[in-house]
A and B are shown apart, each in its own frame.
Chain A
Amino acid sequence: QVQLQESGPGLVKPSETLSLTCTVSGDSISPYYWNWIRQPPGKGLEWIGYIFSTGKTNYNPSLRGRVTFSVDTSKNQVSLELTSVTAADTAVYFCTRELQYWGPGTLVTVSS
């Protein structure tokens, strides 16, 4: 059974870069779409974008070019970087394989 686990700093300072990793176990990274979705505390879900195992990406324009995804097939990991963060980026971040398999999510708080 495929399992996903997000990891990264729980606290990031404003204007800095948020970096998260999703480690996949139980199956290969390929050939799947890996979506990132976030949820601000007490609010709804927002699609951040996806990366295919080949590296093809599609990002939500609402993030105004601040987001980058990458894939490391040797480590069975996908990663997210979000630059110039503000308090509005405080959220639980989820990675999901094709919207079927989800990690438990990781809370990232942006605060000085």
Chain B
Amino acid sequence: DIQMTQSPSSLSASVGDRVTITCRTSQDITNDLDWFQQIPGKAPKRLIHSASILQSEVPSRFSGSGSGTEFTLTISSLQPEDFATYYCLQHRTFPYTFGQGTKLDIK
């Protein structure tokens, strides 16, 4: 299985901050990586697919980059509704595997 190392596991930030979350994979997955946001009690919501393509209707303050084994999710200016848990997912090889999650909370 491809191992996913997502960091940090938790992050405290303020409204307006720029934050970056990193996901590293144990094998080259080209760009077969998605990013999800999950609010407690809700289903995950896909923000980014194919490493850098913004899902429709997702605000442009979210962006994704990377290829191969290292990927980042950046939120350019945090808004109150962005405080949630974020997960990466590789879908290059079976079984698909998720990162451990990054919990983003208010400083």
Contact = CB atoms under 8 A, between A and B. Distances in A.
Interface of A: 35, 37, 44-47, 49, 58-62, 94, 96, 99-100, 102-105
A94 B44 CA distance: 9
A99 B46 contact: yes
A47 B95 contact: yes
Contact of A60 (B42, B95, B100): B95
A44 B43 contact: no
A92 to B, nearest CB: 9
B15 to A, nearest CB: 26
Contacts of A104: 42-43
A76 to B, nearest CB: 19
Interface of B: 34, 36, 38, 42-46, 49, 55, 87, 89, 91, 94-101
Nearest to A95: B43
A102 B100 contact: no
Contacts of B43: 94, 96, 102-105
Residue among B87, B89, B96, B99 with the highest chain A CB neighbour number at 10 A: B96
A49 B95 CA distance: 8
Contacts of B46: 99-100
Contacts of A61: 95
Contacts of A37: 44
A102 B91 CA distance: 17
Nearest to A45: B98
Given A49-B95, A96-B43, A99-B49, 14 more contacts: A35-B96, A44-B99, A44-B100, A45-B89, A47-B96, A47-B97, A47-B98, A60-B94, A62-B95, A94-B44, A99-B91, A100-B49, A102-B43, A102-B45
B42 A100 contact: no
Contacts of B95: 47, 49, 58-62
Given A61-B95, A94-B43, A104-B43, A45 B55 contact: no
